[in-house]
Structure 1
């Protein structure tokens, strides 16, 4: 795979099954490199193994949802100059009808049980903001008066003046009703079985700027009354009513700890009863020591609740019984991207190390693949398989990861990739960056060091106030495995990482002698000046409050000690790891006479490598290959202070 092959990757959304179980509909998205945009179409996929067919050819068609009566297919469509709006397509095809016209678009459409109404969320801007012709340009808008810390979000921008609200739209006449008005984001709407109530989540509490709790609310549509049903002690998401409507299941993460330790606490399945005068204590159904659920919608069945769980790089679909017992539904060296279920039939979008995603039908009798959306990418050239590896760190701790190896005898230069987070994980999924590096002759090693998710609570919490310590031991042990077992060259090892991985690349460049080149991508390099516009206080959470410790844990402190070439990458609209951090690191290296370059992406947010402009994504991959070729291959200038 090459950077130019990005346009061949077909990315699947979550499928929807027709009520009769005969076919599924899924959104298939791709990058158009020539037009520098994304396109997504809906595909109808017969469950019996028939040939898939394209159902729409819009601009960006996503989030398909069959109506319970099978008459309609609702979906969101984005066209140039407009946010996504709900469209309605008859079950037998035809021209879609537009149901909504919100200026900033809509998301999360959900059908009422009687198929007459669709619930959704939409951002509601203050008058005079964001929408032409009232606000022709951002500079013509009135000033913002900000009184709290939580006012911007990476990839969105300002959010305090355009909160998400819950709406419903009637299918018959398009009548829209707004159900929430508070100045907070409302999300994840879900219908009660009788269609009289809506559950959703929101952070309406007074200290929401500093405490990342989010409650579950239930709205009685007839009485127009909203009740909070949780106790503001969890960060809740994705509520789902029980079959009898007397309880609400939801995903929740504990917010405990003086430093908002939510962000390395596992996500569990909870249930709370309804009907009391005050919110009752919620009951946790899954064990946080071993089970970390993925924030995706829940499905209540007759025998339990379906949810996704992260496990050692896999994302499995499981069923949680009322007593908390967890049973696998779709599991293996794969990642489930989304699913739908009808009377025992599950259709799941599943990714693997060489497939960006395919639809599978799963029954008690087994599983079968229904699509071949990855065929164009596979035809472009062979894709490298991920080899699972395990080992031991210097302190005896077990390490786990993967190595991708080129064809041939070696020795090959090695690239260590470090994921972001740190409470995230690499796993069984096609990674364009790794494939592009293998294609030009690099051994790529990826792992989930201490601090990663999917390995239990203690593994995730192990880096609290220990950045650049135990995680370094785990990562260097994985490099040893790549060198010893996969023909890696110990003298030609590079490191690349973004976000937390960018910090780690900078830290290793300054504090380790194992590496010959580094790419520091969207990193925090100075903890006592980490101006992060987000609700996570990463500095206090992971480094601590002592200014001297913050200085000693900052890669910028050791810029003069860097003895290898360093490429610094920044995204100019990054609100998670502000570009000033990367620029500062580049300036310090340059002044110290080190070989360094700065690659700055205009208009890009923190996650641009996944969802930014296609040409930016391609340019980033090309730059990675070019940098490592210059600094790790014969004729390059690797271990050098010159330039």
Structure 2
């Protein structure tokens, strides 16, 4: 009899450190001949508290996977057009630089040496003779102890720093002689470089205009190899997030929301002539928009084109699938791949598309499928061995009606081996226009493994239910979504799932905002954990990187114009009423939800005798607090679980 490893492995609940055994897959690319995939794999180590990020290659014919780099700092792989080299970024010499790795064997060779490192890229020219990339100014970094003057409207950005120190210009490196030419020299954050099919110009997005509060807005520009710049669409056109060429180079396809409330409005796919003109909406019939990242430090889901059609990702009802979009207007958009999971499109060729598939239990594995969505199969199994030893919670799907008659969708993870009604943690998503559903969230699994049911819902304001649902929150932060969240708790109690005497509430970013808002409205929760919250919308207006623009877009005006809206929606207004033991977790270098927000709430709770503590994360930005160094994640996990156990279960 053959005994498998899985059969002999004793299964257990998801533990405090299990998330730190999961690998994460980043960017991935198909080789030009379609026979190979190169991908970026990040692996944390809970014991050493270090994280490695290396490149791996998969033989699609045999399924064999082989590690290509061992420097623990490799990322952004790109095949050369002839498939003979892979360009990538590595920090092995200090700052990130571009390296070339021959695919037939041999060592990687460093080909750039920029003082501040490479910010974005590399991107191959169609003929394979050049690489385009972005980098900061070739000057010594400013001494942080020196006095300095700022003149930008928005002068610092979370996860990046002070923008004058980190502008991103476009460069082109000629491989034959190693020469580098700078194509732009301005105060923008230039990104998302796309070579034209002819190779004589580069399409890009220029964001963070120094004179505008619209820090996330981008201009679509084209630059020639002589450095001549032409602006196709400006900041006033819309909230542009991604752009690329049509196959013939005569048109530009881009994703954008056009609205006074762009964060709450779906991103449509648009088309505009290379020569300019009026853009045409290609997805006006879709209820939900295409998914595109808007942070310049993030990779967006790719938009991929094949003649008269495109492939894009669309989120709806707690899931994200891949759709085919006609560039001619007919037929209507068609879903190719879906299911109870989250798909992220990474690359494609003439026959196949490559994407990441994530579930509630798994951060993601690479899958490949035909362009029409058929013959899908996984090509990585990086987390399966670890998952085999874990008993995962059951998932309960919830549909309930709020007091205004709207249907709200949610889910509950039920702790393995537990008995209903369960001690329950309401976990609130960020955004406010984020969404929960069938995607991996480490805290959910950790809490379920510790014996808690986890309730997560998509209140009004969430993405995936149409523009009316998402924009209903505009001008009503806290007030409207609080009703939906409490209705979800009531429903879970009515269904016999949640123990009304053992409730907790947690959230990060806007979820932290809603957590601090909630504990000022009710005493039904025994404990709360608010990570990186906003608590005072007036001070947030002047101190957060997206304060001015975000406030105008989401609240409807400046503090002096609508003071009652700011007061009504600010958790600090109700802090004196809070009796719920509240833990605050805050990155000290967070520019999105600055640490002063948590400090104000902490001071109010202390002054009014409410049990509270603050976990401060030195050097952590908003982004890094979410997915930062191993020791930071361990500290966050331990603090969260200890706080909830103490005040909900009475376990110290």
Structures share a fold, TM > 0.5?
yes
How far apart, in 2, do the equivalents of 1:64 and 1:334 lie?
A: 26
Cα distance, 1:411 vs structure 2? 2.5
Equivalences for 1:109-508 in 2 at 5 Å? Answer: 109-124=122-137, 127-130=139-142, 137-139=143-145, 141=146, 143-203=147-207, 207-210=211-214, 213-221=217-225, 223-232=226-235, 233-254=237-258, 256-257=259-260, 261-275=261-275, 279-287=276-284, 290-295=287-292, 296=300, 297-324=302-329, 325-363=332-370, 364=372, 365-407=374-416, 408-485=418-495, 487-508=497-518
TM-score (norm 2): 0.90
State which of 616, 619, 635 in structure 2 corresponds to 1:603.
619
- Is the Cα contact below 8 Å between 1:33 and 1:614 reproduced in 2? yes
How far apart, in 2, do the equivalents of 1:587 and 1:535 lie?
A: 24
Q: In the superposition, relative to structure 1, how do residues 511 and 288 fare at CA in structure 2: closer, same or farther (>3 Å)?
A: farther
How far apart, in 2, do the equivalents of 1:485 and 1:357 lie?
A: 32
State which of 76, 82, 87 in structure 1 corresponds to 2:99.
87
Q: In the superposition, relative to structure 1, how do residues 354 and 397 fare at CA in structure 2: closer, same or farther (>3 Å)?
A: same
- Is the Cα contact below 8 Å between 2:590 and 2:621 reproduced in 1? yes
Does 2:36 align with 1:32?
no
Partner of 1:632: 648
Cα distance, 1:155 vs structure 2? 1.1
Cα distance, 1:489 vs structure 2? 0.5
How far apart, in 2, do the equivalents of 1:304 and 1:630 lie?
A: 55
1:618 alignment partner, SS class:
helix
TM-score (norm 1): 0.91
Q: Which moved more, 1:319-328 or 1:189-198?
A: 319-328
Cα distance, 1:436 vs structure 2? 0.5
- Is the Cα contact below 8 Å between 1:334 and 1:350 reproduced in 2? yes
Measured against aligned partners, the alpha-carbon deviations of 1:172-221 in whole angstroms (never above 9, x if no partner) come to 33221111111111110001111111100114867423575321111222
Cα distance, 1:546 vs structure 2? 2.3
Cα distance, 1:459 vs structure 2? 1.4
How far apart, in 2, do the equivalents of 1:95 and 1:629 lie?
A: 51
Partner of 2:11: none
Measured against aligned partners, the alpha-carbon deviations of 1:596-616 in whole angstroms (never above 9, x if no partner) come to 111111111112343212111
State which of 587, 598, 601 in structure 2 corresponds to 1:582.
598
1:293 alignment partner, SS class:
coil
How far apart, in 2, do the equivalents of 1:39 and 1:524 lie?
A: 32
Cα distance, 1:246 vs structure 2? 0.8
Cα distance, 1:376 vs structure 2? 4.1
Partner of 1:549: 565
How far apart, in 2, do the equivalents of 1:22 and 1:486 lie?
A: 53
Cα distance, 1:163 vs structure 2? 0.6
2:81 alignment partner, SS class:
coil
- Is the Cα contact below 8 Å between 2:312 and 2:345 reproduced in 1? no
- Is the Cα contact below 8 Å between 2:424 and 2:498 reproduced in 1? yes
Partner of 1:56: 69
- Is the Cα contact below 8 Å between 2:423 and 2:453 reproduced in 1? yes
Aligned length: 618
Measured against aligned partners, the alpha-carbon deviations of 1:19-77 in whole angstroms (never above 9, x if no partner) come to 11112111110223344332112111222352222222222211111112111111111
State which of 5, 24, 42 in structure 2 corresponds to 1:11.
24
- Is the Cα contact below 8 Å between 1:49 and 1:370 reproduced in 2? no
Over the residues paired in the alignment, what is the CA RMSD in angstroms? 2.1
- Is the Cα contact below 8 Å between 1:44 and 1:53 reproduced in 2? yes
- Is the Cα contact below 8 Å between 2:241 and 2:255 reproduced in 1? yes
How far apart, in 2, do the equivalents of 1:550 and 1:288 lie?
A: 35
How far apart, in 2, do the equivalents of 1:274 and 1:523 lie?
A: 43
- Is the Cα contact below 8 Å between 1:215 and 1:235 reproduced in 2? no
Partner of 1:104: 116
Q: In the superposition, relative to structure 1, how do residues 547 and 307 fare at CA in structure 2: closer, same or farther (>3 Å)?
A: same
How far apart, in 2, do the equivalents of 1:205 and 1:603 lie?
A: 26
Measured against aligned partners, the alpha-carbon deviations of 1:111-142 in whole angstroms (never above 9, x if no partner) come to 111111111112226x3424xxxxxx421x4x
- Is the Cα contact below 8 Å between 2:208 and 2:217 reproduced in 1? no
How far apart, in 1, do the equivalents of 2:337 and 2:214 lie?
A: 38
Partner of 2:584: 568
- Is the Cα contact below 8 Å between 1:230 and 1:272 reproduced in 2? no
How far apart, in 2, do the equivalents of 1:86 and 1:128 lie?
A: 20
How far apart, in 1, do the equivalents of 2:608 and 2:75 lie?
A: 50
Instruction: Give the unaligned 5+ runs of structure 1.
Output: 131-136, 637-643
2:593 alignment partner, SS class:
coil
How far apart, in 2, do the equivalents of 1:93 and 1:71 lie?
A: 10
How far apart, in 1, do the equivalents of 2:604 and 2:578 lie?
A: 10
Cα distance, 1:563 vs structure 2? 2.2
Cα distance, 1:634 vs structure 2? 4.4
Q: Which moved more, 1:433-442 or 1:327-336?
A: 327-336
Q: In the superposition, relative to structure 1, how do residues 25 and 212 fare at CA in structure 2: closer, same or farther (>3 Å)?
A: closer
- Is the Cα contact below 8 Å between 2:361 and 2:445 reproduced in 1? no
Partner of 2:545: 534
- Is the Cα contact below 8 Å between 1:304 and 1:320 reproduced in 2? yes
1:389 alignment partner, SS class:
strand
Cα distance, 1:632 vs structure 2? 0.7
How far apart, in 2, do the equivalents of 1:388 and 1:284 lie?
A: 35
Measured against aligned partners, the alpha-carbon deviations of 1:514-544 in whole angstroms (never above 9, x if no partner) come to 3221112211112222243313434444345
Cα distance, 1:398 vs structure 2? 0.8
How far apart, in 1, do the equivalents of 2:598 and 2:207 lie?
A: 32
1:607 alignment partner, SS class:
helix
1:600 alignment partner, SS class:
strand
Cα distance, 1:273 vs structure 2? 0.5
Instruction: Give the unaligned 5+ runs of structure 2.
Output: 1-13, 293-299
